[in-house]
């Protein structure tokens, strides 16, 4: 690509409404006009959905010398073109198109969720007729139907622009939406009226230029003039999609894609978990009040002041203090934990999550790519992982790659809906990634701008494959994208926070959004926890650690705080609060600073911005960054080699068959807490291939006892003909499922014994 | 009808269509010959045979009046109601035919309770010179047609055996 000769770098000069406009050859008129500050009205035009289709006729303009009017959304600029977007011919046509679109439109704006932020409304005001001449009865459909449990469709409002259908057919490629009937009777529908089932269904709500598709959880909740919107990022997976949070009365009422999508990251798409995770803020197990254990050992509610004091006293009275931050904590929280540990006597800070691995250094040292680079790659090799469930938006990019005729190679033990789209895929046995790599080399060789996408956990557990993959990528000149395990694992690692893989024994434990009793290594922690002197839990929701804690400090979720997360591709991106959160809760950064004051060793920070400035000064990966540099779009961190990362032990421990850890997109804590995702939740379960199940004497839905050297849990069995034989695929489920008992804190490969549970 | 049957029908004519999507139509018409209409399973088979999504196939099928997504009679009689035919009495003709069959005239399609005949309104059949005219399934257009001739034709259709393949 880059070495192609610059063919026509020259600009084309055209005239739009008498204004001279320069545009790159090939620019679509709508875009050229927008660059010159001229709005041409559109409905169906949406470049993220693929080539223009000219369905709505809203964008008619006059081009001198061309017969009839042209659709500006599908007409590229040509030298010396003279365009009129608002002369009489164009204006009459635009007015006419709107009058026709409105002829059958119910004009029920006063009761429509879209009212006030509706392109149809806005364009009618600006370009349309003030009145209708249509006196005949309008078409009628029964009022909204549920297209799915989250999306409602009001067919009377639809203007048949095809956007939702193109998303379903051409972007998420779920193929479920289509138009039925024709003419005025045209309606968006699924095959046989089945519910629309897609991991990305909510995007059609953002795309619909009218009020035909609306969010059921947001139904009648607010009006655009009653809300404030905050640009933020989703903190539910390491991709870090840019979001917009809609706040009313201090609460987040909605999450949408940004109106100005971040084309480098998510392109404006969100997965349904990111879109409808915010109601987890109101789940029954949310911690609303600070709690302190009294002399009788019972937890009593108290004020935040009193609880912070109690926590500080416990810390002061302890011989040692361990501050443990969770894997989704912000950079500021991690940094303040380090700073607090530095000023407290005999204290240390560490993180919970996937351990560092020196073996990944050769991969991390390769030139880094962004998700947008997938679009233009000639070939992409995905090694390990499960993007569909763990990095959902990456799936959409990979689908686009294939539509762009790039080659997609998939290697790894887990099945994927992308397998059908892959140029070639190799299902490797657990621990055998290397066996699939030879074919990869062939796919990457000679391809333009090749990329490798590799899974942190899978490659950390197979150092030989990591080394081999790095060699292949180097030979092919490929750049790399890491699929990180933890939401902010990259950010916390870049701070130099060591990973806590074994329980701490004595003193005080401050667990900040971290529950070691519900994480890998849970059994070892359970054994050791009685030896811990005092437990202070900074947490959003109740969990095993808050039950054991001496002090519980309620804290805020990602959509309620300010802070920075580092995405899977290494971009630092800002969270901004779209909610005040519970009255008695405070951000973790604030609680850490408060604790520093109450322990008599005050830290010199008062805001997360100050803390982040200190991070930039003190931690080389963040050098040069600040809140303003990170801005709304994010900015890359710098990779700094970790010379001190420990060597992992990667031999599988235990007898039996290999355990492959999987995650379901709607199987995590947020999905189980958000009442908007009730119909999507998946519990922890065990997936076995048919032969494997038969050998073990297990059938579908039966309960199996799964035991590793670390612990045991009981799981329902799913027999899946697609799954490779010879392995146990354990979908981890939400934290309290008990599945983490099977793993060690080191997250080394394990084998499990499986038997029928009585 | 299975996807394999449909594939066997469209494969030999594939070269006649520049765009694979155009093949959906002959595939649907063929799939309909078995039951005379397209139940969801038939649409699914067409989707499988052509490689397009079920929603897309259903969307194509729902566009055309001669592709039926609900059960219709053994024979389908389309009565033209467009201008030429209307001026020559098609309104009365269709009323009379419905009366003869003992069914209520509707603007859509109406089927006799015994499932023998469906009467439906059609737009211009391209045989204005034969107005008023009707078409039986995909056979020749017949006209001009008086009421008694039309009724006799209906009786004849009712008595005849079901065609092996229901092309319509
Ligand atoms: S529902 Fe909305 S997005 Fe879909 S076709 Fe109708 S107007 Fe367009
Ligand atoms: S925006 Fe151009 S035809 Fe719809
Ligand atoms: S109007 Fe009836 S055939 Fe043309």
Span B6-63, pLDDT tens digits: 999 999 999 999 898 999 999 999 999 999 999 999 999 999 999 999 999 999 999 9
**Is the distance from the beta carbon of residue B117 to the nearest atom of ligand 3 less than 6 Å?**
no
Site to substitute for ligand 3 among B93, B124, B144, most atoms within 8 A of C-beta? B124
A175/B contact by beta carbon, under 8 A: yes
How far is CA A19 from each of CA A58, A71, A220, rounded to the nearest angstrom? 22, 19, 44
pTM of the full predicted structure? 0.94
Chain A nearest CA to B41, separation (Å): 10
Best of B55, B65, B67, B69 to disrupt the A interface (most A CBs within 10 Å) is B55
- Second-level CATH architecture of A358-480: 3-Layer(aba) Sandwich (3.40)
- In the β-sheet with A571-575, what is the strand arrangement from edge to edge? A563-566, A571-575, A635-636
| A12-103: CATH topology | Ubiquitin-like (UB roll) (3.10.20)
Closest by CA to A250, choosing from A696, A595, A577, is: A577
How many A-B residue pairs are in contact by the CB < 8 A criterion?
39
**Residue A496 CB coordination number (10 Å):** 18
Q: Is the dihedral of CA A434, A490, A366, A746 positive or negative?
A: negative
Q: How far is the CA of B8 from the centre of ligand 3 (A)?
A: 36
Residues in chain A: 758
Burial label for A642, CB within 10 Å (0-12, 13-18, 19+), is middle
What separation, in Å, do the N-terminal and C-terminal C-alpha atoms of chain A show?
A: 61
Residues of B in contact with A175 (CB under 8 A): 52-56
Position A130 scores a pLDDT of 78
**A243 three-state secondary structure:** strand
In this complex, do A189 and B40 lie within 8 Å of one another by their Cβ atoms? no
Of A169, A180, A182, the CB nearest to B58: A180
ipTM for this model: 0.89
Model pLDDT, residue A132: 84
Reported as half-sphere exposure (CB side, CA atoms, 13 A), residue A724 has a value of 19
Burial of A701 (0-12, 13-18, 19+ CB in 10 A): exposed
Q: CB of A720 within 8 A of CB of A689?
A: yes
Return d(Cα A601, Cα A180) in angstroms, integer: 69
Chain B residues whose CB is inside 8 A of the A179 CB are 59
- CATH 3.40.50.740 residue ranges in chain A? 291-354+490-636
List of residues 6+ apart from A677 with CB closer than 8 A: A272, A273, A276, A277, A279, A666, A670, A671
Interchain contact A178–B (C-beta under 8 A): yes
Fold of B3-63: Arc Repressor Mutant, subunit A (1.10.10)
Q: What is the pLDDT of residues A370-395, one digit of tens each?
A: 999 999 999 999 999 999 999 999 99
Side-chain half-sphere exposure of A402, counting CA atoms within 13 A: 20
Helices (H), A227-366: 272-276, 304-317, 331-343, 361-364
Closest C-alpha to A732, from A406, A485, A394: A485
- Residue A382, classed as helix, strand or coil, is strand
Q: Which residue owns the Cα nearest ligand 2 atom 3?
A: A54
Taking CB atoms and an 8 Å limit, are A176 and B55 in contact across chains? yes
- Tell me how far CA of residue A179 lies from CA of A182, A188, A273, B129, in angstroms: 8, 5, 27, 36
- Ligand 2 pocket list (CB less than 6 A): A 42-45, 54-59, 71, 73
Where exactly are the structural domains of chain B?
Answer: 3-63, 75-159
* pLDDT for res A1: 43
- Rg (Cα) of chain A, in Å, rounded? 28
Nearest CB partner across the interface for A190, out of B52, B55, B62: B55
Angstrom distance (rounded) from CA A352 to CA A130: 61
Q: List where CATH 2.40.40.20 sits in chain A.
A: 657-756
The fold adopted by the segment(s) A140-279 is Alpha-Beta Plaits (3.30.70)
Using alpha carbons only, give the angle A10, A15, A17 rounded to the nearest 5 degrees: 150
Long-range contacts of A721-725 (CB under 8 A, 24+ apart): A721/A689, A721/A690, A722/A415, A723/A415, A723/A687, A723/A688, A723/A689, A723/A692, A724/A413, A724/A415, A724/A427, A724/A429, A724/A689, A725/A689, A725/A691, A725/A692
Tens digits of residue pLDDT in B98-125 = 999 999 998 889 999 999 999 999 999 9
Residue B87, SS3? helix
A178 → closest Cβ in B40, B44, B56 = B56
Question: What residue ranges of chain A have pLDDT lower than 50?
Answer: 1-2
Containing H/E element for A231?
Answer: strand A228-233
- 3-class SS of residue A320: coil
pLDDT at A7: 56
Kindly give the interhelix angle for B147-159 and B90-101, rounded to the nearest 10 degrees: 40
Residues B45-60: tens digit of each pLDDT: 999 999 999 999 999 9
Helix (H) or strand (E) holding A351: strand A347-351
One DSSP character per residue, A144-158 reads: -EESSSSEEE-GGG-
Quote the CA–CA distance of A397 and A170 in Å, as a whole number: 12
Residues of chain A with CATH 3.10.20.740: 12-103
**Rg, chain B, Cα only:** 17
**Does the distance separating the beta carbons of A191 and B58 come in below 8 Å?**
yes
DSSP 8-state secondary structure symbol assigned to residue B70: S
A343 dihedral zone (left: phi>0; alpha: psi -120 to 50; beta): alpha
Is-contact A259 A271, C-beta < 8 A?
A: no
CATH architecture, domain A291-354+490-636: 3-Layer(aba) Sandwich (3.40)
Confidence (pLDDT) at A5? 55
What's the Cα-to-Cα distance from A519 to each of A354, A502, A733, A741, rounded to whole Å?
Answer: 10, 11, 12, 8
**pLDDT for position A427:** 87
Q: Are A526 and A554 in contact (CB under 8 A)?
A: no
Nearest alpha carbon to residue B28 among B52, B53, B55, B6: B6
Q: How far is the CA of B36 from the centre of ligand 1 (A)?
A: 32
Cis peptide leading into A589, omega within 30 of 0? no
How far apart are the CA of A104 and the centre of ligand 1, in A? 14
Cα(B27) to centroid(ligand 2), Å: 31
- Give just the sign of the alpha carbon dihedral B51, B54, B57, B61: positive
All CATH 3.40.228.10 domain ranges of chain A, comma separated, are: 358-480
- Cα-flanking dihedrals φ and ψ of residue A707, to 5°? -130, 135
CATH number for the domain whose boundaries are B75-159: 3.40.30.10
Which is nearest to A45 in space by CA: A238, A34, A609? A34
Chain-centroid distance of CA A242 in Å reads 8
Report the residue of chain B nearest A166, measured CA to CA: B56
> Does the beta-carbon distance from A177 to B55 stay under 8 Å?
yes
- CA of A186 to nearest chain B CA: how many angstroms apart? 9
- The two beta strands, B134-136 and B75-80, are antiparallel
B58 to chain A: which residues are within 8 Å by CB? 178, 180, 189, 191-192
Residues contacting residue B161 through CB under 8 Å, at least 6 positions apart: none
List of residues 6+ apart from B66 with CB closer than 8 A: B76, B78, B138, B168
- Residues on chain B touching A189 (C-beta within 8 angstroms): 55, 58
Separation between Cα atoms, residue A27 and residue A303, nearest integer Å: 60
pLDDT at residue A2, rounded to an integer: 46
Distance CA A643, CA A656 (A): 35
- Check A178 against B43: CB less than 8 A apart: no
Chain A residues whose beta carbon lies within 8 Å of the beta carbon of residue B43: 191-192
Report DSSP state, residue A531. G
Of all protein residues, the one whose alpha carbon is nearest to atom 3 of ligand 1 is A208
Instruction: Identify the CA nearest to A572 among candidates A629, A522, A655, A640.
Output: A629
How many CA within 13 A on the CB side of residue A551? 27
CATH topology of domain A657-756: Barwin-like endoglucanases (2.40.40)
């Amino acid at each position: 690509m880059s070495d192609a000769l610059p063919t026509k770098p020259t600009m084309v000069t055209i005239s739009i409404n008498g204004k001279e406009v320069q545009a790159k050859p090939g620019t679509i008129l709508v875009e050229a006009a927008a660059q010159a500050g001229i709005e041409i009205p559109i409905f169906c035009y949406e470049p993220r959905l693929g080539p223009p289709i000219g369905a709505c006729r809203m964008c008619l303009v006059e081009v001198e010398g061309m017969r009839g009017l042209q659709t500006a959304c599908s007409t590229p600029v040509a030298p010396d073109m003279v365009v009129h977007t608002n002369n009489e011919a164009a204006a009459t046509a635009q007015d006419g198109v709107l009058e026709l679109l409105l002829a059958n439109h119910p004009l029920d704006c006063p009761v429509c969720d879209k009212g006030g932020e509706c392109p149809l409304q806005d364009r009618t005001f600006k370009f349309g007729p003030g009145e209708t001449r249509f006196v005949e009865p309008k078409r009628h459909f029964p009022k909204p139907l549920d297209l799915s449990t989250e999306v409602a469709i009001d067919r009377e409002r639809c203007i048949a622009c095809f956007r939702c259908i193109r998303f379903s057919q051409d972007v998420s490629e779920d193929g479920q939406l289509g138009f039925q009937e024709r003419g005025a009777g045209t309606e968006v529908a699924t095959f046989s009226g089945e519910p629309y089932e897609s991991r990305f269904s909510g995007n059609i709500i953002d795309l619909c230029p009218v009020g035909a598709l609306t969010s059921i959880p947001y139904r009648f909740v607010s009006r655009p003039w009653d809300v404030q919107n905050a640009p933020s990022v989703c903190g539910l997976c390491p991709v870090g999609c840019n979001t917009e949070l809609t706040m009313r009365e201090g609460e987040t009422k909605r999450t949408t894609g940004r109106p100005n999508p971040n084309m480098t990251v998510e392109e404006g798409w969100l997965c349904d978990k990111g879109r409808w995770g915010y109601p987890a803020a109101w789940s029954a197990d949310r911690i609303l009040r600070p709690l302190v254990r009294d002399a009788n050992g019972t937890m009593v509610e108290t004020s935040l002041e009193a609880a912070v004091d109690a926590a500080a006293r416990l810390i002061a009275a302890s011989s040692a203090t361990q501050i443990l931050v969770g894997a989704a904590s912000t950079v500021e929280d991690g940094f303040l934990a380090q700073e607090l540990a530095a000023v407290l006597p005999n204290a240390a800070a560490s993180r919970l999550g996937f351990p560092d691995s020196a073996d990944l250094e050769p991969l991390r040292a390769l030139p880094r790519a962004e998700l947008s680079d997938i679009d233009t790659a000639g070939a992409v090799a995905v090694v390990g992982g499960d993007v569909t469930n763990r990095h959902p938006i990456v799936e959409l990019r990979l689908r686009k790659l294939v539509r762009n005729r790039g080659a997609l190679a998939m290697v790894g033990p887990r099945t994927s809906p992308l397998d059908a789209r892959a140029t070639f895929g190799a299902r490797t046995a657990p621990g055998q990634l290397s066996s699939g790599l030879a074919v990869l080399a062939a796919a990457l060789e000679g391809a333009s701008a090749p990329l490798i996408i590799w899974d942190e956990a899978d490659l950390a557990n197979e150092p030989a494959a990591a080394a081999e993959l790095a060699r292949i990528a180097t030979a092919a000149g490929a750049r790399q994208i890491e699929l990180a395990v933890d939401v902010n694992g990259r950010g916390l690692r870049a701070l130099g926070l060591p990973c806590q893989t074994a329980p701490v024994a004595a003193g005080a434990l401050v667990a900040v959004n971290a529950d070691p009793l519900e994480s890998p290594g849970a059994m070892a922690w359970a054994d050791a926890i009685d030896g811990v002197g005092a437990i202070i839990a900074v947490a959003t929701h109740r969990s095993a650690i808050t039950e054991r804690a001496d002090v519980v400090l309620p804290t805020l979720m990602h959509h309620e705080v300010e802070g920075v997360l580092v995405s899977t591709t290494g971009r630092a991106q800002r969270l901004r609060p779209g909610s005040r959160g519970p009255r008695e809760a405070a951000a973790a950064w604030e609680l850490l600073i408060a604790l520093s004051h109450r322990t008599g060793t005050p830290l010199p920070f008062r805001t997360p911005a100050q803390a982040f400035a200190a991070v930039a000064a003190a931690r080389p990966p963040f050098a040069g960054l600040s809140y303003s540099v990170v801005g709304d779009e994010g900015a890359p961190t710098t990779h700094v080699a970790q010379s001190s990362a420990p060597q992992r032990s990667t031999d599988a421990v235990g007898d039996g068959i290999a355990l492959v850890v999987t995650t379901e997109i709607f199987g995590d804590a947020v999905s189980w807490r958000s009442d908007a995702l009730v119909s999507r939740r998946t519990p922890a379960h065990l997936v076995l291939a048919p032969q494997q199940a038969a050998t073990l004497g297990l059938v579908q839905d039966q309960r199996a006892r799964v035991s590793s050297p670390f612990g045991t849990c009981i799981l329902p069995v799913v027999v899946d003909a697609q799954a490779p034989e010879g392995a146990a695929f354990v979908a981890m489920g939400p934290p309290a499922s008990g599945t983490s008992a099977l793993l060690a804190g080191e997250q080394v490969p394990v084998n499990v014994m499986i038997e029928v549970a009585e | 009808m299975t996807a394999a049957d449909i594939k066997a029908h469209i494969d030999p004519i594939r070269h006649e269509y520049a765009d694979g999507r155009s093949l959906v139509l002959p595939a649907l018409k063929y799939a309909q010959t078995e039951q005379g209409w397209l139940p969801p399973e038939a649409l699914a088979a067409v989707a499988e045979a052509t490689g397009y999504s079920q929603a897309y196939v259903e969307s194509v099928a729902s566009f055309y009046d001669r592709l039926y997504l609900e059960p219709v009679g053994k024979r389908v009689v389309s009565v033209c109601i467009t201008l030429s035919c209307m001026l020559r009495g098609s309104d009365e003709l269709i009323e009379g035919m419905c009366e003869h069959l003992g069914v209520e005239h509707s603007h859509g399609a109406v089927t006799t309770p015994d499932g023998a005949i469906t009467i439906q309104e059609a737009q211009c059949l391209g045989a204005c010179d034969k107005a008023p005219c009707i078409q039986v399934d995909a056979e020749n257009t017949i006209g001009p047609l008086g009421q008694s001739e039309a009724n006799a034709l209906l009786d004849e259709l009712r008595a005849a055996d079901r065609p092996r393949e229901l092309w319509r």
